[in-house]
Amino acid sequence: MKVSRLANGSPEIFHTLQGEGPSLGAPAVFLRLSLCNLHCHWCDTPYTWNWEKTPWKHQDGVKFSKSEQIIELSPAEIAPLISHYNCDRLVLTGGEPLLQQKDLTHLTQLLPGISFIEVETNGTQVPDDDFISIPTQFNVSPKLSNSGMDESLRLNFAALRVLASTPTSFFKFVVCNQADLDEVQSLQKKLFLPSNRISLMPEGRDAETLHSRSLWLADICRDQGYRFSPRLHVLLWGNERAK
Ligand code: SF4
C-alpha cells in the first residue's frame, strides 16, 4: 500500500482527535494514504500528490519528491502499527483512500480491536461491493469550484449517489462565501441530502484565518440546519503534520 511518509521515514499513522465532521473530538488513530486523483489548489496535504515534474498547481508553489513522500507497506505490516495505539476508532484519510480500497478491505480484516472505522473521501470513487460495508461512517467531502478543479473531475455522480444512499455517510464542505454555499445547496438538492447530514467548514490553515471565516458560517448553519464543523486539528496544532 502507498502510505504517506513522514520526514523521519515513518508511515503517517498517528493517534489524535478527529478534527472535523460529525465525530469531531473523538480519539482516533489516523492512517494517511498517499495518492489523490484531484489536485485542489488549497489542499492541506499536497505532499500526498503534488509531485515534482507534474503540471499541477497548488497555492504554496511547492513540489514534493514522490519517492521521499511514500512508504510502501503491506496490510500485514500496517495492522500492528495501528493496533499498537489500543484505540478502537480508525480514520482512513489521504489523499484519496478509495484509490486503495482493495488493500484497505484486507487491512480492516486484520484489526480485531477496531470497532469504528471512518473513511474520508472526496466522493469521486465508487466504493466496491466488498468495501462499502466496512466503514462505520463515510465522511464525504465533494470539492466545489473553489478547489480550482474542473467539475468533470471533482463531481462523479455515480459515486456520489452511492455514497448519499448509504445511511452511514455524512457530507462535509469547505465553504468560503455565498457562491460556495449556493453550490452546496445545488448539490444537496441533486443528491436529496437532508441538511443534518451536511457539515460546513471554514477554509483556513491557521487559527486566525479560521476564526475570521467562522462567524458568518456559524450563523448560516444555525439558521439553515447544517452542522458547523470547526477544524479542531488546525485550531490546536496549526498546519503540523501527524496531528
Ligand atoms: S481531494 Fe482532498 S486530498 Fe485530494 S487534492 Fe483535494 S483536498 Fe487534497
Q: How many angstroms separate the CA atoms of 30 and 17, rounded?
A: 9
Ligand 1 nearest atom to the CA of residue 154, by list position: 1
**Residue 19: domain span:** 2-176
The preferred substitution site among 4, 12, 45 for testing ligand 1, maximizing ligand atoms within 8 Å of CB, is 45
If DSSP codes are grouped into helix, strand and coil, which group holds residue 152?
A: helix
**CA torsion angle for 49, 209, 184, 161 (degrees, to 10)?**
40
If DSSP codes are grouped into helix, strand and coil, which group holds residue 139?
A: strand
Number of domains in the chain: 1
Q: What pLDDT shows up at residue 131?
A: 95
Q: How many angstroms separate the CA atoms of 113 and 46, rounded?
A: 31
- In this structure, what C-alpha cell is assigned to residue 25? 473530538
- In this structure, what C-alpha cell is assigned to residue 204? 483556513
How many Å lie between the centroid of ligand 1 and the Cα of residue 208?
22
In DSSP notation, 35-98 reads --S---TT-S-GGGT-BTT-----TT---B-HHHHEEE--HHHHHHHHHTT--SEEEEESS-GG
Q: What pLDDT shows up at residue 241?
A: 75
Q: What pLDDT shows up at residue 206?
A: 78
Residue 133 lies in a domain: yes
Q: What pLDDT shows up at residue 204?
A: 76
Residue 191 lies in a domain: no
The preferred substitution site among 40, 48, 140 for testing ligand 1, maximizing ligand atoms within 8 Å of CB, is 40
Residue 161 lies in a domain: yes
Q: Between helices 178-191 and 157-164, what is the axis angle to 10°?
A: 70
Segment holding 191, helix H or strand E: helix 178-191
What's the whole-model pTM score? 0.93
pLDDT per 10-residue tile (average), the chain, 243 residues: 97 94 92 98 94 95 97 98 96 98 97 96 96 92 95 97 95 92 97 96 81 88 94 76 75
**CATH value at residue 149:** 3.20.20.70
Residue 65 lies in a domain: yes
Residue 168 lies in a domain: yes
How far from chain centre, in Å, is Cα 148? 17
Distance from the first to the final alpha carbon of the chain: 21
Q: What pLDDT shows up at residue 192?
A: 96
Q: How many angstroms separate the CA atoms of 202 and 173, rounded?
A: 8
Exposed / middle / buried, residue 13 (Cβ in 10 Å: 0-12, 13-18, 19+): buried
**CA torsion angle for 63, 68, 73, 78 (degrees, to 10)?**
-80
Residue list, ligand 1 pocket, CB within 6 Å: 36, 38-40, 43, 45, 48-49, 94-96, 122, 143, 147
Residue 227 lies in a domain: no
Q: What pLDDT shows up at residue 213?
A: 83
Residue 193 lies in a domain: no
Q: How many angstroms separate the CA atoms of 3 and 74, rounded?
A: 10
Residue 162 lies in a domain: yes
